[in-house]
Chain A
Amino acid sequence: MKHSTLLRFTLLLVAIFSTLTSWAQVSFTVAAPTPVAVGSPFRAEFSIDSEPDRGSFNAPAFEGFEVIAGPSVSTGHSVQWINGKQTSSYNCTYTFVLMPVEEGIFTIAPATISAGGKSYSTEPLKIEVIKEQGSSSSSSTGEKPSAEGSIGKDDVFIRLRLSDTDVYKGESIRASLVLYTRIDIANIESLEMPPFNDFWSQELSFDNAPSREEYNGRIYQTYKLAEYLLSPQRSGKLTIDPVKMEIIAQVVVQDSRSIDPIFGGRQIYNVPRSLSTAPTTIDVKEFPAGAPATFNGAVGSFTMKSTLPESSIMVNTAEQIEITISGSGNLKFITKPRLVMPESFEVYDAKVADNVKVSAAGTSGSITYTFPFVARSSGEFTIDPVAFTYFDPATAEYHTLATERFTLSVADDGTSVTSAPTVIGGGYGGQMKQLDRDIRYIATDAKLRNSRDMFILSPMYWLVVVVIVALFVVAYLVLRRRIVQNRNVVARRMKRADKVAVQRLRMAQRYMAEHNRHAFYEELLRAMWGYISDKFNIPVSNLTKETIREELYRRNVSAADAEQFCQIISRADEAQYAPSVEGDMGEVYGDAVDVISKIESVVKR
């Protein structure tokens, strides 16, 4: 019991809500095809999406049309629950079948209706009535003897509709492929689009609702199959290759042999058909002469906006110049405007951000170029204007947009180019740029002389050679004697050590004769030490018996001789202060002379 009251209450609420929603917006519209042909009936439908008040519908007077049937009323009501959300729709349609009587443009006057106490009226609807050419309405009435022959050449065809066929290079054209048909199409087997050579093409999204169109005096159902935005990339007569398409048409044939009493004996045949468009030629005009140097092929209508940095910046600080080009035209093809900065500025690659939309009306939007730069030295700099030139096809004129020339003062913060730690490029603070090449400047001074004289093999050359050789010969002859003498000097020098020793020994001999033992041994020792010292170039202070033995051994003196030499030194040392017989002096002297001459004979070699 309790449940049922709750349910009822809910239903009531739903009912209230549904009426509320239906009240919210009521539309009352009229729909009828246009254009229509004289003599072929068509339907005009008045529909309201709310329950109308009974008997409140007032049909207009259909001027120019003959009302064949109607109004027939049909109503529909649907309630939907989706995820707990309820929607309801109501529809009531009044249908008239009208027959156009004569050609011209006729207006279906507003019909009125009231719903929920409020009255509504339709908009007046203009309908074009034309007189079809040829066998009027033979195909629409559907009396066909055979399936194959029933489809006339102009019953179904495709057309490539171009928005313009006489354009400038870079201008955009809208091309739409439209199927025109007066028969039913069962299926589209294949559709092959041409490659659109010499065009930049972009497929567009389009509304594929069928419509009616008059073409060559006949009324067709039209279907848009594809839509492209084309932009010719070169001038001249450009041809778009035919579009090929395979369809299957449906043909209804009245079978004359077996007429079914109930279904009429009609048979439906599927007839394959191949369709193609005619090759289309587009006249693409070259840009008129006199293009400014800054023109880079931009076509359309553009505006330029620039965002410049502050007029006073710091050295070594990243700044940027922003240039935005917006408008409609071949935005995708415009090239970056050229920004010329002073040499001491480091300019980096520009960042490009585009916001470009391609629609049936063409390409439009904006492109923003951001030029980052760093000033590396301080001073006042003038930045030249950045120019952008485009061609306006509507007026066939070139327009140049430019930023204003502005002065930039760069303040030094103490980190000038030399001391900056972040100089990019390294080395000497970045390589110097070679801007251009030209031949080097002429020589400005030269010793002019008769150039044909070549020194080599000339008489002067031979003279010089002869003089040099003669000088050599003369010098040799003059100095020859000195050379010979020199040789003797060398020989003498080699004996010098021996000589000194001999002198000293002679002195010792004199002391021996005087019986001066002490002086004799002193002189003898001096002679022996001095001989080794002179001969082997060793200071006396560095000499010991050991070193003497080593030195003599190194010079291939026999061990016995070396031993004897050292022994004599020992004996002389001892004898110098010790009393001894006279005969000793003579013996020691003789041994000393003997051993020195022996060593001399070995060492000299």
Chain B
Amino acid sequence: MRTHIYNIVGLLAIFVVAITFSNVATAASPATTAKARWTAGVEAYAEGNYTAAVEAFEDVVDLGYATAEVYYNLGDAYFKLGQANTSHPFATGELGRSILNFSRALKLNPAMEDAAYNLDLARDYTNDTEPLPESFIKRMWHSLRDNMTSNGWAILSVVMLALTLLLVLVYLLASRIALRKTAFFVAIATALIFILSTALSLSQRTAQLSTERAVVVCNDTAPVHASPNSASKVVRQPSQGVIVDIVRGSDEWTEIAFADGEKGWIRNNTIERI
């Protein structure tokens, strides 16, 4: 009877191990490919072969390993590729793609200072308008939020939760009144930080998951119409790389809002969601 149970347990163990290993085997393949393509991209960029660098980093993204660094490098590679065409820089939409990828990098990691710098520099080449000023509280909230990713805030919130509960225990157990007092007030502070970081993490998650912003990606400029048909008036002519908000969309047209609040309809194939 007992040996029988052992056999079953042994079989189960082998089965579990086999499944785990097969999973590891299939999962290892794209990971190593992505790593190889990443290295190839970095080398190609260093040699100045920006076409190859763009292809390599695009492959990494397609494999599902799209981190902020990959998008950042892709943005750099597109920018340099566009600049390499000295007679007509950014002739085939490289500026738009560069800005798209810098924006995506910042969306994943808002604290990525290099990406913010490059995005700012690349946007000098566009005819983007000045954004409407945000309210003070919103600006404060965003600047606080963008110090860390959603995951960073989530980890902080979990740590703060643990710390709060630990301090509650200290409060309950401490024999010295000074220690109990300290534990009590620090616990209130950590509890507040826990609530704040949870809120920031959730807010950052919403921002990171939203696809409400888009970048104009076209060869030169794309017409923005007053209504979703090509016969209507062209209200604006944004250049590639202009960042817009998406208001609503249809099969062929998307209503967009510019940074200064102006709205219009643009063809779907001339914008890319960030």
Q: Which residues of A contact B60 (CB under 8 A)?
A: 448
* Whole-angstrom CA separation of A489 from B153 in the bound complex: 42
- CB of B148 to closest CB in A, whole Å: 12
Contact A439 B80 (CB under 8 A): yes
- The answer to whether residues A442 and B34 also contact, given A454-B209, A455-B154, A468-B158 and a CB cut-off of 8 A, is no
Contact A442 B72 (CB under 8 A): yes
- CB of B117 to closest CB in A, whole Å: 6
Contact A446 B165 (CB under 8 A): no
Please tell me if A486 contacts chain B, counting CB pairs below 8 Å.
Answer: yes
* Whole-angstrom CA separation of A464 from B64 in the bound complex: 26
- How many positions in chain B have a CB within 8 Å of any CB in the partner chain? 49
Contact B64 A450 (CB under 8 A): yes
Please tell me if A208 contacts chain B, counting CB pairs below 8 Å.
Answer: no
* Whole-angstrom CA separation of A444 from B38 in the bound complex: 9
Contact A486 B175 (CB under 8 A): yes
Top 3 nearest A-B pairs (CB, nearest first) are A446-B69, A456-B154, A472-B165
Contact B175 A456 (CB under 8 A): no
Q: Whose C-beta in chain B lies nearest to the C-beta of A479? A: B173
* Whole-angstrom CA separation of A352 from B196 in the bound complex: 64
* Whole-angstrom CA separation of A444 from B43 in the bound complex: 9
- The answer to whether residues A448 and B73 also contact, given A440-B118, A461-B154, A465-B158 and a CB cut-off of 8 A, is no
Q: Which residues of A contact B80 (CB under 8 A)?
A: 439
Q: Whose C-beta in chain A lies nearest to the C-beta of B204? A: A456
* Whole-angstrom CA separation of A448 from B175 in the bound complex: 49
Q: Which residues of A contact B232 (CB under 8 A)?
A: none
Contact B209 A475 (CB under 8 A): no
- CB of A478 to closest CB in B, whole Å: 10
B26-45 contacts to A, CB under 8 A, are 31, 34-35, 38, 42, 45
Please tell me if B190 contacts chain A, counting CB pairs below 8 Å.
Answer: no
Please tell me if A560 contacts chain B, counting CB pairs below 8 Å.
Answer: no
Residues 49-65 of B, flagged 1 when their CB comes within 8 A of A and 0 if not, give 00000000000100011
Please tell me if A5 contacts chain B, counting CB pairs below 8 Å.
Answer: no
Q: Which residues of B contact A482 (CB under 8 A)?
A: 173
- The answer to whether residues A442 and B45 also contact, given A455-B154, A476-B169, A489-B175 and a CB cut-off of 8 A, is yes
- CB of A471 to closest CB in B, whole Å: 8
A230-281 contacts to B, CB under 8 A, are none
Residues 445-470 of A, flagged 1 when their CB comes within 8 A of B and 0 if not, give 01111111011110001001100110
Please tell me if A437 contacts chain B, counting CB pairs below 8 Å.
Answer: yes
Please tell me if B162 contacts chain A, counting CB pairs below 8 Å.
Answer: yes
Additional pairs, 4, CB under 8 Å, beyond known A448-B31, A456-B150: A439-B75, A451-B66, A455-B201, A465-B158
- The answer to whether residues A437 and B67 also contact, given A455-B154, A464-B158 and a CB cut-off of 8 A, is no
- CB of A400 to closest CB in B, whole Å: 25
Q: Which residues of B contact A486 (CB under 8 A)?
A: 173, 175
Please tell me if B106 contacts chain A, counting CB pairs below 8 Å.
Answer: no
Contact B169 A448 (CB under 8 A): no
- The answer to whether residues A468 and B65 also contact, given A442-B45, A486-B173, A490-B175 and a CB cut-off of 8 A, is no
* Whole-angstrom CA separation of A454 from B207 in the bound complex: 12
Q: Which residues of A contact B34 (CB under 8 A)?
A: 448
Please tell me if A513 contacts chain B, counting CB pairs below 8 Å.
Answer: no
- CB of B75 to closest CB in A, whole Å: 8
Q: Which residues of B contact A455 (CB under 8 A)?
A: 150-151, 154-155, 201
Q: Whose C-beta in chain B lies nearest to the C-beta of A461? A: B154
> Given B42, B122, B151, which contacts A444 in the complex, CB threshold below 8 Å?
B42
* Whole-angstrom CA separation of A442 from B81 in the bound complex: 13
- CB of A380 to closest CB in B, whole Å: 32
- The answer to whether residues A442 and B42 also contact, given A449-B65, A456-B153 and a CB cut-off of 8 A, is yes
Residues 198-240 of A, flagged 1 when their CB comes within 8 A of B and 0 if not, give 0000000000000000000000000000000000000000000
- CB of B74 to closest CB in A, whole Å: 9
Q: Which residues of B contact A444 (CB under 8 A)?
A: 42
Contact B42 A439 (CB under 8 A): no
Please tell me if A1 contacts chain B, counting CB pairs below 8 Å.
Answer: no
* Whole-angstrom CA separation of A469 from B38 in the bound complex: 41
Please tell me if B260 contacts chain A, counting CB pairs below 8 Å.
Answer: no
- How many positions in chain A have a CB within 8 Å of any CB in the partner chain? 34
Contact B70 A448 (CB under 8 A): yes
* Whole-angstrom CA separation of A468 from B190 in the bound complex: 15
Please tell me if A20 contacts chain B, counting CB pairs below 8 Å.
Answer: no
Contact A447 B114 (CB under 8 A): no
- CB of B157 to closest CB in A, whole Å: 8
Please tell me if B242 contacts chain A, counting CB pairs below 8 Å.
Answer: no
* Whole-angstrom CA separation of A490 from B176 in the bound complex: 9
B52-103 contacts to A, CB under 8 A, are 60, 64-70, 72-73, 75-77, 79-80
Please tell me if A441 contacts chain B, counting CB pairs below 8 Å.
Answer: yes
Contact A439 B153 (CB under 8 A): no
27 A-B pairs in the complex with CB atoms less than 8 angstroms apart = A438-B121, A439-B76, A439-B80, A439-B117, A439-B118, A439-B122, A440-B117, A442-B77, A443-B73, A446-B70, A448-B67, A452-B64, A454-B209, A455-B151, A456-B150, A456-B151, A456-B154, A456-B198, A457-B205, A461-B154, A468-B158, A468-B165, A471-B165, A482-B173, A483-B173, A486-B173, A489-B175
* Whole-angstrom CA separation of A465 from B197 in the bound complex: 14
Q: Which residues of A contact B122 (CB under 8 A)?
A: 439
Q: Whose C-beta in chain A lies nearest to the C-beta of B109? A: A451
* Whole-angstrom CA separation of A482 from B64 in the bound complex: 53
Q: Whose C-beta in chain A lies nearest to the C-beta of B197? A: A456
Contact B35 A448 (CB under 8 A): yes
- The answer to whether residues A442 and B35 also contact, given A447-B67, A454-B151, A476-B172 and a CB cut-off of 8 A, is no
* Whole-angstrom CA separation of A582 from B80 in the bound complex: 110
- CB of B149 to closest CB in A, whole Å: 9
Q: Which residues of A contact B175 (CB under 8 A)?
A: 486, 489-490
Q: Whose C-beta in chain B lies nearest to the C-beta of A444? A: B42
- CB of A512 to closest CB in B, whole Å: 38
- CB of B76 to closest CB in A, whole Å: 5
> Given A442, A451, A472, which contacts B108 in the complex, CB threshold below 8 Å?
A451
- CB of B57 to closest CB in A, whole Å: 9
Contact A441 B76 (CB under 8 A): yes
* Whole-angstrom CA separation of A475 from B64 in the bound complex: 42
- CB of A437 to closest CB in B, whole Å: 6
Q: Whose C-beta in chain B lies nearest to the C-beta of A456? A: B154
Q: Whose C-beta in chain B lies nearest to the C-beta of A468? A: B162
Please tell me if B256 contacts chain A, counting CB pairs below 8 Å.
Answer: no
Please tell me if B268 contacts chain A, counting CB pairs below 8 Å.
Answer: no
Contact A454 B205 (CB under 8 A): yes
* Whole-angstrom CA separation of A353 from B155 in the bound complex: 70
> Given A438, A449, A475, which contacts B67 in the complex, CB threshold below 8 Å?
A449
* Whole-angstrom CA separation of A79 from B69 in the bound complex: 105
Q: Which residues of A contact B221 (CB under 8 A)?
A: none
- CB of A222 to closest CB in B, whole Å: 58
Contact A475 B72 (CB under 8 A): no
- CB of B32 to closest CB in A, whole Å: 10
Contact A475 B169 (CB under 8 A): yes
Please tell me if B161 contacts chain A, counting CB pairs below 8 Å.
Answer: yes
Please tell me if B168 contacts chain A, counting CB pairs below 8 Å.
Answer: yes
- CB of B269 to closest CB in A, whole Å: 25
Q: Whose C-beta in chain A lies nearest to the C-beta of B41? A: A442
Q: Whose C-beta in chain A lies nearest to the C-beta of B37? A: A448
Q: Whose C-beta in chain B lies nearest to the C-beta of A448? A: B65
* Whole-angstrom CA separation of A475 from B171 in the bound complex: 13
- The answer to whether residues A446 and B154 also contact, given A439-B118, A439-B122, A440-B118 and a CB cut-off of 8 A, is no
Please tell me if B192 contacts chain A, counting CB pairs below 8 Å.
Answer: no
* Whole-angstrom CA separation of A437 from B38 in the bound complex: 26
* Whole-angstrom CA separation of A525 from B73 in the bound complex: 86
* Whole-angstrom CA separation of A437 from B79 in the bound complex: 13
Contact A472 B169 (CB under 8 A): yes
Q: Whose C-beta in chain B lies nearest to the C-beta of A438? A: B121
Please tell me if B208 contacts chain A, counting CB pairs below 8 Å.
Answer: yes
- CB of A469 to closest CB in B, whole Å: 7
Contact B172 A446 (CB under 8 A): no
* Whole-angstrom CA separation of A438 from B201 in the bound complex: 33
Q: Which residues of B contact A454 (CB under 8 A)?
A: 150-151, 154, 205, 208-209
